[in-house]
Structure 1
Amino acid sequence: MAFEQLALPLAGVSPNPEPTRIPRTRRVFVNRNLKMVGIDWVGFDMDYTLAVYNQAEMDRLSIDATRTKLVARGYPEDVIGSIAYELEFPIRGLLIDKRYGHILKMDRFKFVQRGYHGLRELSKDELRALYHQKKVRPTTARYHWIDTLYALSEATLYAGIVQAFEDRGLEIDYARLFTDIRESIDEAHRDGTILDEVMGNLPLYIDRDPLLAQTLHKLRSAGKKLFLLTNSRWPYTEKMMTYLLGGAMAEYPSFRHFFDVLIVAAQKPAFFQERRPLLERVGTEVVQASAPLERGRIYEGGNLIDFERFLNVTGDRILYVGDHIYGDILRSKKESAWRTAMIIQEMEAEVLAHESCREEHQKSAELEGRREELEDQLRYYQQRFKDLTKRMEEAGGHGSNGSSPFEVERSRIKRAVERIRGHLRAVDAEASKLEREIARRFHPYWGSLLKEASETSSFGDQVEEYACIYTSRVSNLLAYSPLQYFRSPRDQMPHEL
């Protein structure tokens, strides 16, 4: 039976002028299949998840507050105050070596691929001497991992001060310096130097997402229950969430109406690991909480086991959305059956950089193929050379003045081997140059956040292992159905490629 080919567009049906594909910068990426139809509760962290901070302004604020406290601890004001700190220097996933004052980036095998001392890049020989001959143990006291956007200012300060002291020939205790930086930043948070400034000027420090309220409403409309689980205390949470959601939709008189449960001062990751009591804030007092947890009330502290028991829900029916690879994602994944979504603000820039390198990636793949082909040829001719040498020895000599057929053939093969090795050196040089160009597209110092050379970076490895899905902001979920089946791409092992 013959079928008639219909002309497109169909008469009377106008083509849709809107794109049908979600832009890659706003897509949700999937590590592990996730059926939203099986999720009853969706939880959110606040800072750097619902609240998207202006990173450059937050870094400036943290650095200014910390410099003052470092000077109070005895650091020379003329040095600390005169440093032009490179705000663009750090990325997440870096490792501070407090023994030598280095900042490092590792791949998924914990192999150190890049490093800086201050703002001076470490050579391959320096990296090999310190980190390649023995196993690096990032969890020991010698090292500190920069795993949050909040902590980027620590790396900026550390690199800037190390560089300034080295340039001036001043003595420096690298471990003491980093401890002082961390303690000074923590002190600036505790005494209100940072938080009071943020609360007093929210438009400067917070990117208010106009689609956030619609996103939460869409989830609620599909029958999902929402909870807020944040380490921030109630006064800061109330002001921040009111700024983000207050008056956003007429259906919700206040931000509290978006959520079925509100927990502040959760002390993650301890929330997932310890049995801290769940408390309820009643006015200015805090009392023991009891089941069931009620909408509109403010809870503090708590723990994973009681939380699931009070809600009468199992962990596999909960999706938790956060930004902290350790406090929000890794610990919730290791200690529970919660499904996880990670907010990676850098993803939009990461995706754009990747898109801009398509030609370079294609060229890199071609060079890899060419290298593999040349290596196969090299192995073949090297084996031929060995076989001919053996046959000549068995024949009792090398012939007369190198003119025997064996000797002529062996000389030809030797020239072929040398020619192939030359081609391989040229391919390796071109590939290395291309790799450096690609890395600079992502970041001038460290390259891609999620990759390192041909491997996944240490940070990217943890994202891949512990985050079921990841995206750049919560409102990206608005483009998807609340019952979406998020499917991960087929994973391939090297022998399948």
Structure 2
Amino acid sequence: MLLCRFINSNKNKFKPKCIYTLFDTHVSHKAKILLRFHSQKRLEEAYKLIKTKCQSKKLPKDVNPKAVFACNELDLKEVKVYGFDYDYTLACYKPSLDYLLYNLGRETLIEQFKYPQEIASLEYKPGFAVRGLHYDIEKGVLLKLDSFLQIQFGSVYKGLTPLSNEEVLQLYKNRIIPIAYVEGPHRNASLTLQEPSSKMVQLADLFSVPEMGLICNVADYFERNHIDYHPEILFRDIKNSIRNSHPIMHKIVAQNVSEYIEYNEKLKPFFDRLVNANKKLFLVTNSPYGFVNKGMEFMVGRNWKEYFDVLIVQARKPKFFTDISRPIRVFDEQSGTHIWDRVVKLEKGTIYYEGTVKQLQELTGWRGHQVLYFGDHPYSDLADHEIATLNNPEFKKNANWLQMLTQLIEDHQDCEDPDEQRILARWMAERDKIRNDIKYVFNEQFGSVFRTYHNPTYFSRRLFRFADIYTSNITNLLHYSVNHTFYPRRGVMPHEYISYFV
């Protein structure tokens, strides 16, 4: 049903305000101008009204940076076993580690892969990339996808150069990327360097942030100097360079722990609390024992191993979770070598190497809801920037105004008068500016790790799919009882929005 306001004319007739052009033969030129004036004035008054309403709105409460956020209902009373990753979970690294990895990777690229010596001058650009992005190994672009596999326009880069919307559509023919292009023919297959199952590789690890920086810097150098290169070869060479640099990085960090690792004085009390509550603890990490030992001694003390019932290093995740059979072996701490003996039980104080989650379950009997594992580390993303940005008053004002301006546009978009369309175009331009302003405060190139303009990112979808809870630091659990239940909040569907928020 179409409802229109009417104007009383001298002939005592009524006429729809927005469609007076249908009656041109009965309306004088002066009346047309008057009607147009009233129509424009109506939009301007609607804008002022909604702007005033927005300015009078109370800003949302701050997000507690120490809160734990629930994706699924989780009752800690059921949790008997707590498992941990090491990198970016127990050990949170300082920005200095990004510089170290980037520089080591760049040196390896020159020395081992014989890339031009000139790239030695390409410095790391902190804050250029965020994790969770995809690199198209066929087209050589870095881009951000939402949970529906839509490309976020304005967040597609070739080297250090952003691609226009038109260039993106020329490359992909469509804003939505086919799932087989992103995830490969086997959706559950891991996207490894050796066997990529798709045209795109997601760079979800925080160690991949300097890797993305190196890819974009070198690609930019090739583009600027008109040097032909193969995007997949570039990706593989840089991936191998960063990976080959890890042993050197491990030695440097182990010798200068405080320079690279944030000290967390709450980690030891957190472990004490769990042990005193009769919880079992285990550690599964891809990092080597010597590297982990130095970091844990720095954060917890020389007796750190006494807290853990099972310790597994160099687990080779994600294969640790996906391989059906890969023997678990003993690591001899004294000699630094692996023992060939068959492992038939897991003993406290012994360091283990490789294996699979299936073996861990069989040898311990730990299964299902009784085990809570902290990994996939979204923690640093939340702690470093995301929550602080959400709590910024200017961000809140912009977010409120974006919602209300969008509603204003939607409510008034159907009038076809040219002057009204110019006003609507001005509103649309303002909306675009606010959306970009909100994006830029997270990251100028790619925006928030967790969302595009209005959808969760592809990275968020995976996080919410696999995580029961997430937080900015695992020691935030000290603010909750070991018997606490986390309840997810009711999500709002598009058809529920009006009844919930207006």
TM-score range, shorter chain: 0.7 to 0.9
Contact 1:26 1:348 in 2 (8 A): no
Q: Aligned residue for 2:74?
A: 34
Residue 329 (structure 2) pairs with residue 279 (structure 1): yes
CA separation of 1:132 and 1:476: change in aligned 2, threshold 3 A: farther
State the Cα deviation string for residues 253-292 of structure 1 (Å, max 9, x = none). Answer: x00111122122222222222222222335545222223x
Contact 1:22 1:479 in 2 (8 A): no
The one-letter code of the counterpart of 2:129 is P
Inter-partner Cα distance in structure 2 for 1:49 and 1:308: 22
Q: Aligned residue for 1:205?
A: 260
State the Cα deviation string for residues 365-399 of structure 1 (Å, max 9, x = none). Answer: 11122123214xx2xx6xxxxxxxxxxxxxxxxxx
Note the 1:280-429 alignment, pairs <5 A: 280-282=330-332, 283-284=334-335, 285-286=338-339, 287-291=341-345, 293-323=346-376, 343-356=379-392, 357-375=395-413, 378=414, 415=417, 418-429=418-429
Q: Which runs of 5+ in 1 are unaligned?
A: 1-20, 248-253, 325-341, 382-413
State the Cα deviation string for residues 39-73 of structure 1 (Å, max 9, x = none). Answer: 0101001111101111x211211122122222122
Inter-partner Cα distance in structure 1 for 2:443 and 2:128: 9
Match of 1:261 among 293, 310, 316: 310
State the Cα deviation string for residues 131-172 of structure 1 (Å, max 9, x = none). Answer: 242734123443221111101111101111111222223332
CA separation of 1:135 and 1:441: change in aligned 2, threshold 3 A: closer
Contact 2:151 2:177 in 1 (8 A): no
Q: Aligned residue for 2:297?
A: 242
Contact 1:44 1:321 in 2 (8 A): yes
Contact 2:124 2:210 in 1 (8 A): no
Match of 2:98 among 46, 53, 59: 59
Q: Aligned residue for 1:126?
A: 167
Which moved further from structure 2: 45-54 or 163-172? 163-172
The one-letter code of the counterpart of 1:85 is Y
Which moved further from structure 2: 428-437 or 347-356? 347-356
Match of 1:135 among 164, 171, 177: 177
State the SS of the aligned residue for 1:262.
strand
Q: Aligned residue for 1:165?
A: 222
The alpha carbon displacement at 1:105 in A equals 0.7
CA separation of 1:429 and 1:458: change in aligned 2, threshold 3 A: same
State the SS of the aligned residue for 1:194.
helix
Note the 1:49-198 alignment, pairs <5 A: 49-54=89-94, 56-72=95-111, 73-77=113-117, 79-113=118-152, 114-133=155-174, 135-136=177-178, 137-139=181-183, 140-189=197-246, 192-198=247-253
Inter-partner Cα distance in structure 2 for 1:433 and 1:488: 33
State the SS of the aligned residue for 1:447.
coil
CA separation of 1:452 and 1:59: change in aligned 2, threshold 3 A: same
State the SS of the aligned residue for 2:182.
coil
CA separation of 1:84 and 1:303: change in aligned 2, threshold 3 A: closer
Paired residues, what number? 411
Residue 501 (structure 2) pairs with residue 494 (structure 1): no
Which moved further from structure 2: 236-245 or 206-215? 236-245
Identity of aligned residues (%): 30
The one-letter code of the counterpart of 1:267 is R
CA separation of 1:22 and 1:42: change in aligned 2, threshold 3 A: farther
The alpha carbon displacement at 1:466 in A equals 1.5
State the SS of the aligned residue for 1:215.
helix
CA separation of 1:93 and 1:294: change in aligned 2, threshold 3 A: same
The alpha carbon displacement at 1:173 in A equals 2.4
Residue 85 (structure 2) pairs with residue 48 (structure 1): no
State the SS of the aligned residue for 1:455.
coil
Contact 1:102 1:117 in 2 (8 A): yes
Contact 2:62 2:390 in 1 (8 A): no
Query: TM-score normalised to the size of structure 1?
Result: 0.78
The alpha carbon displacement at 1:224 in A equals 1.5
Inter-partner Cα distance in structure 2 for 1:102 and 1:188: 24
Q: Aligned residue for 2:473?
A: 473
Contact 1:51 1:240 in 2 (8 A): yes
CA separation of 1:346 and 1:491: change in aligned 2, threshold 3 A: closer
Inter-partner Cα distance in structure 1 for 2:63 and 2:448: 20
The alpha carbon displacement at 1:420 in A equals 4.5
Contact 1:345 1:473 in 2 (8 A): no
State the SS of the aligned residue for 2:312.
strand
